[in-house]
Structure 1
C-alpha cells in the first residue's frame, strides 16, 4: 500500500469501524489470490490488507489521522527512528497480508475457504457459510462409433480429478452435438453446487451406413442372378439384419426403402449395386453371346454425344 489507506478500501476518513471491516471483506472475497489469479487483483488485495491492518486498531487509526505515523504504520522521522519501529515487537507490517493471528478476520476467511482447501499459506478455517462458488464446468470431446450414436448406448469417461463416469449416449445423437451432464462437473465451494460436464460428440464413420437426417443410407451389392431373377436377400440395418425383396431386372443405382428402419422413425434407403462374378467363365460368356444375338438392346440409347 502506498498513499491513502482509506482510498485502498474505497472509503473516506469519515468511515466507521464497521464500514472498514465490511469494505475489507468485500475486497477479500473478490480479489484474494486463491480466488482471482489476476495480478491486478492480487495488488488490490495486498493494498487493502495493509490498509485494514493499519485502520482496524483504533489507536493506530487515531495516530495515522493525527499524522503521528505514516500509511506504512511507521513513526514520522521527527518522532521515532524507522529502524526502532520496524524491529519493535508487535509491528503489524512484518506480515505480508495483514491477517495472521487476527481473530477479527476469522469470520472473513471462514467465508472464503473451507477446511477442504484452506488457502495457499496453509491456514484452515471453518466451513464456508455465506461465500459460495459454483463448481467448474468440465468439457470433453468424445468419439463414439456410428452404431452407438444411432442406437444409443453407454460409455465411460475419465474425470480430471480421477475416477470415471458412466455416460448414457442418447439414441440418434449427431456429430458435433453437445450433451450436458448436470452436476457432473467440479465440486463447488461452500453451498455452491457442482458444475456441469459437457460432452461434444464426434461420430466415427461406418464402413457401410451413412446418415442423412434421421434416414440411413446403404449401398447393397447384389449378384448378377439376383439382379436378373430377383428374390429375397439379407440386408443389414442399424438394428440387425432384415429380409429385402429384390425385384426382377434390378439395376445398379435402383433404390428400395425399408420403412421405419432409420433413426427415431426415419427410414433406411437401400441403393442396389450389381456386382459381376469374380471371373467370367466360358459358360457365362457363351450364354451371353447367344443371348445378345437374340435380345439386342442399347442401354445408352438417347444419350447425346458431346463435341
Structure 2
C-alpha cells in the first residue's frame, strides 16, 4: 500500500479541509460511474478511498502519523496466534520514536466483541472502508454542459429577439437574444444540459450566437461597414444622399470632390450600446457607379470632358 498522503497528493501538514478537497477531486475523477471500462481507474478509486479512510479520520490520521497503523489501516507489529479459545492476541511495545514506552495490546477473541478496553474490532475498519466507498458512490454529481449554436439575422442581434436552437439531445429551445449581442458571443442556459447523477443538478447549455451575413452591411466587432453607390456627379459636386442603417434611412452628406472608396463615418450607427460596451459606428465607403444602360448624350458629355479637362489620376504611381 502506498503512503495515503502520496495517494491524495497532499502533505503531512495539510489541513483537514485541504485533505477533504483533494479526496473529492480525485474521487470524482476516478469514480467507477465515469470510468466504466477502465479497470485501473476502479483500482485507483479504491486506493483513494482507502487513503482517505486513514488521513480523513482525525483519530486514524494521528495513529498513522505516530506509526501505530500502516497505510492499509492495520496495526503495526501484531502477529502470532494463541490468546485463548477461538482467537489470538499480540502485545507490542514501542521503545523509540514518538510512541516510545507505549504499550498496545490487540485481542481478537471469539467470545467478547472488542476484547476489552484495549481491543480492536476489524469489522469497524471494514465498515468504515466500505461505508466510505458507498458514500462516495452516492455523492450527487453535476451533469455535463452541452454546446449548441444559434444563427440570427443582424437585425435581431442589434435589436434583440429570440432564436430557436436544437440541443445535442434533439430537444428544441427558444433562446432570448439580448440587444447588441456580438458574433460568437455565448449565452448560458442554466440547467438545460445533461441531467446530474444521483440527484445532482443538471448541467448548462452554452449557446454560441452566430450572426448571419447581411446583403448590405458587413460586421466588424461592433462596427458596421457599407458600400454606398453614388453617381459621378454626386461624388464630383457633392450631395446629400439617403443611406440605409439598422434604424432606417438617414441623410448622408457627400463632400464635393469625393473619390471612389472614400469612407465616411456615422457615429453610433453600428451595434447598439450594452451595459458593458459602447455603440459601434457605421463606416460608409463611396462607390462611384455609371448608368446601368448606355446613354448617348451622357457619353458625349464625358468625351467632351475628357478632351477639355484631361487629368492623370495615376501620375504619382511612376
- Within the candidate set 171, 176, 197, 2:179 is matched to 171
Q: Distance in 2 between matches of 1:193 and 1:232?
A: 60
Partner in structure 1 of residue 144 of structure 2: 136
Q: Give me the TM-score of the superposition, normalised by structure 2.
A: 0.53
- Within the candidate set 271, 276, 279, 2:290 is matched to 276
Matched, 1:152 2:160: yes
CA contact (8 A) 1:224 1:277 kept: no
Q: Distance in 1 between matches of 2:268 and 2:253?
A: 16
Q: Deviations over 1:32-68 (max 9, x none)?
A: 76553233168659x99xxxxxxxxxxxxxxxx99xx
Deviation for aligned residue 1:238: 2.4
Q: Distance in 1 between matches of 2:41 and 2:244?
A: 63
Change in CA separation of 1:42 and 1:217 when aligned onto 2, cut-off 3 Å: closer
Q: Deviations over 1:207-253 (max 9, x none)?
A: 32122332211110112343344333221212332222223333211
CA contact (8 A) 2:141 2:197 kept: yes
Q: Distance in 2 between matches of 1:29 and 1:259?
A: 53
Describe how 1:49-68 pairs up with structure 2 within 5 A: none
The count of corresponding residues between Structure 1 and Structure 2 is: 210
Deviation for aligned residue 1:179: 2.8
Partner in structure 2 of residue 183 of structure 1: 191
- Within the candidate set 201, 214, 218, 2:226 is matched to 218
Partner in structure 1 of residue 202 of structure 2: 194
Partner in structure 2 of residue 248 of structure 1: 256
Q: Give me the TM-score of the superposition, normalised by structure 1.
A: 0.55
Q: Deviations over 1:270-305 (max 9, x none)?
A: 0101100123322112223333444x1414264142
Q: Distance in 1 between matches of 2:262 and 2:302?
A: 23
Partner in structure 2 of residue 208 of structure 1: 216
Change in CA separation of 1:232 and 1:39 when aligned onto 2, cut-off 3 Å: same
Matched, 1:267 2:275: no
Deviation for aligned residue 1:194: 1.8
Partner in structure 2 of residue 38 of structure 1: 37
Q: Deviations over 1:143-174 (max 9, x none)?
A: 33344334433101123445322112333433
SS of 1:133's equivalent? coil
Structure 1 spans left out of the alignment, 5+ residues: 1-25, 49-64, 67-104, 113-129
CA contact (8 A) 2:147 2:167 kept: no
